[in-house]
Amino acid sequence: MESARIEAHKNFWNHTKAQLPLVSFRLGSYFIATHYRAAEKLLAKGTRITPGMIDVDSFMEDYERRYNEVSRLGQNGFWTAEPYTGIPWMEAFWGCEIVANGESFMSRPLVNEVQDLEKLRFSMENPWVSKYFEFIKKLNDLSQGRFPVGAPIMRGQGDTAGALMGQTEFIYALYEEPDLIKKTLRKIVDSFLDIYGEMHRLNKPFHGGSSMGFYHIWTQDENLWFQDDISALLSPALYREFFLENERYFCGKYQYTLMHLHPASFHLLDDILCNENLKAVEINKDVGGPSIKQMLPQFRRVLEKKRRLVIWGDLIEDEILSVFDNLPLEGVFFHIVPPDFKSAERILSFLNSTAHV
């Protein structure tokens, strides 16, 4: 069974023709922070969160429960544990204050003037960094080889810079202080790589490879994935000037790479796909649209450029069938967010039956 799953993941990365796409499930709502019972008190609206408030040991029961729950489904994705996904880790690593808002957590800007970015320094000694790696170490201990450990949502260069100074201020600064912003973005990229490097050093190999946290995709070697939702506010020219080369740079450090993308950034898709070091693109089915059917042209463009496509969201049978009917299945991965176990069972049964029609 495990060897067949590994082979299916190899086929995904090799773009090999498949009868059934890879699929993994994350049960519950889109508000990932609420999936952990140990976080209930932390989520109280307005609570300022410090690293000392997070008891990593108290989360282990949640991870065990979620692993056992998803394992019962028989999915071909590998359930992957990651440091508590609710925390905006990169923002915290750089010194932003973290505050709960009831269903998730947000960061508050750190600098008042753009010139203050020059003074900011990232340190692996930051207590938030230590807390992150405490999760990594304890999740590896909990696993005992049963599941891999990977990275949670890690904001990319633009999202982190926007958090440090405010998103509106960041966009203005691209025009007013371009050299300082470029320097800041590269410092953020370097810190991102430092975190990933140490995480991979601490992680125990899983079937000789590793796995992308959040998406649960096994890779034969170490991997990296990122998101930059602030890219929705950029023109293609600004994206090419400030973001693209940095993305080429850090994606070039790993053989297996993935970028998370919302439909609001589709106007940048052609430029994103110019990054020859980017191996996969994950596209969200967002609340409020566009629909899976409306996004088929973008899905097709990703696959035509020989990138792997991950489709994420609360997909239903008609939407899955639309993908089956209109796209080649090689290089396609469904990460489905159903509300409960029974819904996941029904969707998995539908996938299996459709593949044999």
Residue span of the structural domain in which 108 resides: 2-355
Mean pLDDT throughout 36-58?
A: 95
C-alpha to C-alpha distance for 50 and 268, rounded to whole angstroms: 36
Residue 357 has pLDDT above 50, yes or no: no
Domain count, the chain: 1
| Amino acid 354: pLDDT | 79
pLDDT in tens, 109-150: 999 899 999 999 999 999 999 999 999 999 999 999 999 999
356 falls in which pLDDT band (50, 70, 90)? very low
pLDDT of residue 30: 78
Give me the pLDDT at residue 355, please: 64
Q: How deeply is 306 buried, as exposed, middle or buried, from its count of CB atoms within 10 A (0-12, 13-18, 19+)?
A: exposed
Q: And the tokens for 202?
A: 């601490």
Q: Check residue 117 and give its pLDDT.
A: 95
User: Per residue in 213-228, pLDDT tens?
Assistant: 999 999 999 999 999 9
CATH number at residue 194: 3.20.20.210
Confidence at residue 129, expressed as pLDDT on a 0 to 100 scale: 98
pLDDT of residue 1: 66
% of the chain with per-residue pLDDT over 90? 86
| For range 232-245, the mean pLDDT | 98
* Long-range Cβ pairs for the range 37-45 (8 Å, 24+): 37/61, 37/62, 38/62, 39/84, 39/86, 42/86, 42/100, 42/105, 43/86, 43/100, 43/102, 43/103, 43/104, 43/105, 44/100, 44/102, 45/100, 45/101, 45/102
Concatenated DSSP letters of 7-74: HHHHHHHHT---SS-EEEE--S-S-GGGG-GGGTTTTSTTPEE-GGG--HHHHHHHHHHHHHHHHTTT
**Per-residue pLDDT tens over the stretch 278-331:** 999 999 999 888 999 999 999 999 999 999 999 999 999 999 999 999 998 889
Q: What is the pLDDT of residues 58-91, one digit of tens each?
A: 999 999 999 999 889 888 889 999 999 989 999 9
For residue 250, pLDDT over 70 is answered with yes
Q: What is the pLDDT of residue 293?
A: 96
**What pLDDT is recorded for position 2?**
82
Which residues, other chains included, contact 88 with Cβ-Cβ below 8 Å and sequence gap of 6+? Answer: 96, 98, 105, 106, 107, 153, 155, 163
From 286, 341, 348, select the one nearest 311 (Cα to Cα): 286
What percent of the chain has pLDDT above 70? 99
Quote the CA–CA distance of 319 and 303 in Å, as a whole number. 18
Q: Give the tens place of pLDDT for each residue, 12-34.
A: 999 887 777 889 999 887 788 88
On average, the pLDDT of the chain sits at: 94
Average pLDDT score over residue span 263-276: 98
